[in-house]
Amino acid sequence: MSLQPGEQFGRYELVSWLGRGGMAETYRARLVAEAGVTKPVLIKKVLPEFINDEAFIAMFISEARISATLSHGNIAQVYDFGRVEGDYFLAMEFVEGQPLHRILKRAHKSGMSTIPIPLAAFIAMEMCRGLHYAHTRTDEKGQPLGIVHRDISPDNVLISYEGQVKIVDFGIAKARELRGFSTEPGIVKGKYLFFSPEQAQGEEVDARTDVWATGIVLYEMLCGKLPVEDDAPEVAMDRLISGSFPRLRERNPSVPAELDAIVMEALALNKEERYASCHAFGDALAGFLAATAPRFSAVSLSHFVQELFREDITSTGRQVQVPPTFPEQLAQWRGQSPTAILAPPGRPQPQPPTDPDPERSPAKDVETRIMPPRKGMSVGAVVGLVLLVGAILGGGFLVWKGMRPKVVGDPSNPQPLQLTEAPLAPPPSPPAERLAEATPPPEEEAPATEETPEPATAPAQEPPPTSAAPTNEPAPSLSAEEQEAQAAYDSAIQLLEKKQFAPAEQRAQRCIQLTPENAECHRVAAEASSGRGQFDKAVGYYRRFLELAPDHELAPQIRKSVASYEQRKRRRTPSQ
């Protein structure tokens, strides 16, 4: 270490040495200005042994010249560049946080093999925003600079403790403005495991190379490993060029099919089939987040990073600002027990949610529940339960009068979705007759009323016989999470009936958080969004519903309505 903390370096005062990487070392420092004004910065200084390396100095100057023109929330800004006593340095924004590669390692050490899906999608989306800004920069005459990072990897992505995502190190970025520093054709630089096929073959690259690398970073976050690993460089590059690596869902089946498709489009071998820009890639991820985690924000990422690095933060005397319920939220994202995630010994363990109705027995809860509670329950059985309770409630939220069109469509030309009822058992019969068939004699159990919709039914997987008595087998009990999800779903339906669309959507979103694979939760959320006139949002929910329940009786009509709306939207939107 050539400099010591406390030393003056030009107009900067060094605070601490952070380490060395490649051909430079970094320091935490502060700019000391007039009247005691200070500003925290990061100093990146070329190591003495490389001062005379002309190629490296050219690259270092290239980074300074490119980065100094960039000012975006997702790019670490460069404030200053120069020489102090012969040492080249950059002074740049100091990001109080951690690089993504350390976050991946710490998560693995904490027992998490992957980053939770909403967090990973959000990080990649923010990366896309910063990269698109750099890709579209122009000079003072409006001519494109043609900036391409070309070295996107977890090492060059910083996550602040406030949940900000920052890209750093444009050191080997290629800009047409800097022809003297361009890589010669046939020469590749960067980390080869993140190379796009065209980059690996030494061909000319453009913004779609950064689309590919961002897709690789997202792949690693979601799968816990890179598409190609543990191979010699030449073998790995051959596999990348040929696309000889598994899809995400082959390595992590919990990744939704929609997200798998988004990432694999970013990793298309032919760059013409890839997203045309990081903006398009980011928008696809934003749509996925809006449909699957609409309330997600940078605050959740902030909590995640702070929780992972709790000891590091507290060791500096700072306070960790993470709500005590966050481990429960993280567990819901990962489908695990809250007590199994980020809960060191000695800390209070989060308690599972309690039964919202302790007077209700598990057996009755199974009989009246609308959502598919357990694996193995068919979509047809779910539809049957939905329609049975809907009939009891006088038609349910599907056919109640006065509601705004529950369709994804043009508000100026609404096309109501005709929601038809499906019979519980052949042959088809009106709701009242079906209810009579499913309701036991009065002496066995009091008939269900509108206030207490608790009809006894035969097992939902098979149509009830004409003279069958209710089964005496005990129904499986629900977990506390299932009970809370059911309560949220029931509440959403009641709020829809009252035309209280905003709180109905909130309750439906809670249902989605607790049971993300439940198609009915997404459909109710779509109904609420449509009632509020938020048709684009409703489309996202409907798409997820169709993905989870493609054979649902309403699926064809919903597909038609969604397609019709999108067609009208395209006609109204001028071409870019």
pLDDT of residue 173: 62
Q: Which of 78-87, 91-100, 225-234, 427-436: highest mean pLDDT?
A: 91-100
Question: Predicted confidence band at 174 (pLDDT cuts at 50, 70, 90)?
Answer: low
The pLDDT of residue 406 is above 70? no
pLDDT tier at 562, thresholds 50, 70, 90:
confident
Spatial distance between the Cα atoms of 192 and 112, rounded to a whole number of angstroms: 26
Question: In this predicted structure, what is the pLDDT of residue 563?
Answer: 83
Above 80 in pLDDT, residue 175? no
Region 421-450: mean pLDDT is 38
What's the angle, vertex CA 170, arms to CA 169 and CA 174, rounded to 5?
155
pLDDT at residue 111 tops 70: yes
Task: Report whether pLDDT(370) > 90.
Answer: no
Across 552-558, average pLDDT: 85
pLDDT bucket at 34, cuts 50 / 70 / 90: confident
Show the CA angle centred on residue 295, arms to residues 331 and 481, nearest 5°: 35
pLDDT band at 127 (very low <50, low <70, confident <90, very high): very high
Fold of the domain spanning 8-93: Phosphorylase Kinase; domain 1 (3.30.200)
Domain boundaries of the chain, sorted by first residue: 8-93, 97-298, 299-340, 362-467+477-572
Contact between residue 19 and residue 35 where contact means Cβ atoms under 8 Å apart: no
Q: What is the DSSP letter of 96?
A: S
Per-residue pLDDT for 126 more than 90? yes
Q: 500 pLDDT exceeds 50?
A: yes
**pLDDT recorded at residue 87:** 87
C-alpha to C-alpha distance for 40 and 42, rounded to whole angstroms: 7
Token couple for 465: 């016989």
The fold adopted by the segment(s) 97-298 is: Transferase(Phosphotransferase); domain 1 (1.10.510)
Give CA separation, 462 vs 329, 362, 377, 382, 424, in Å.
36, 21, 11, 11, 9
User: pLDDT digits over 245-270, tens only?
Assistant: 999 999 999 999 999 999 999 999 99
pLDDT at 436 over 90: no
**Which one is predicted more confidently, 459 or 61?**
61
pLDDT of 479 above 50: yes
pLDDT at 172: 58
User: What is the CATH architecture of 362-467+477-572?
Assistant: Alpha Horseshoe (1.25)
Q: Give residue 186's region: left, alpha or beta (phi > 0; psi -120 to 50).
A: left
> Same fold for the domain at 8-93 and the one at 362-467+477-572?
no
| Banded pLDDT at 237 (limits 50, 70, 90) | confident
> What pLDDT shows up at residue 200?
86
Mean pLDDT across 522-532: 85
What number is the average pLDDT over the span 8-15? 90
Lowest mean pLDDT among 66-80, 381-395, 491-505: 381-395
Q: 492 falls in which pLDDT band (50, 70, 90)?
A: confident
**pLDDT, position 137:** 93
Does the structure show a pLDDT above 80 at 446? no
Task: Enumerate the β-bridge partners of residue 40.
Answer: 30
pTM of the predicted structure, to 2 decimals? 0.59
**What are the tens digits of pLDDT across the range 44-89?**
888 888 888 888 788 788 778 888 889 999 999 999 988 898 888 9
Most confident of 138-142, 235-239, 301-305, 451-455: 301-305
- Mapped onto helix, strand or coil, the DSSP state of residue 239 is helix
The highest-confidence range among 24-33, 340-349, 424-433, by mean pLDDT, is: 24-33
Q: Grade residue 573 by pLDDT with cuts at 50, 70 and 90.
A: low
Higher pLDDT, 44 or 397: 44
**Euclidean distance between CA atoms 145 and 267, whole angstroms:** 25
Write down the pLDDT at residue 574.
53
Of residues 243 and 184, which shows the higher confidence score?
Answer: 243
Percentage of the chain beyond pLDDT 90 is 32
Most confident of 25-34, 40-49, 159-168, 555-564: 159-168
Helix or strand or coil: residue 371? coil
pLDDT at 22 over 80: no
pLDDT band for position 38 (50/70/90)? confident
Distances (CA, A) of 531 to 341, 407, 527: 37, 8, 6
Count of CA atoms in the C-beta half-sphere (13 A) of 373: 24
How much of the chain exceeds pLDDT 70, in percent? 69
Lowest mean pLDDT among 301-310, 314-323, 408-417, 537-546: 408-417
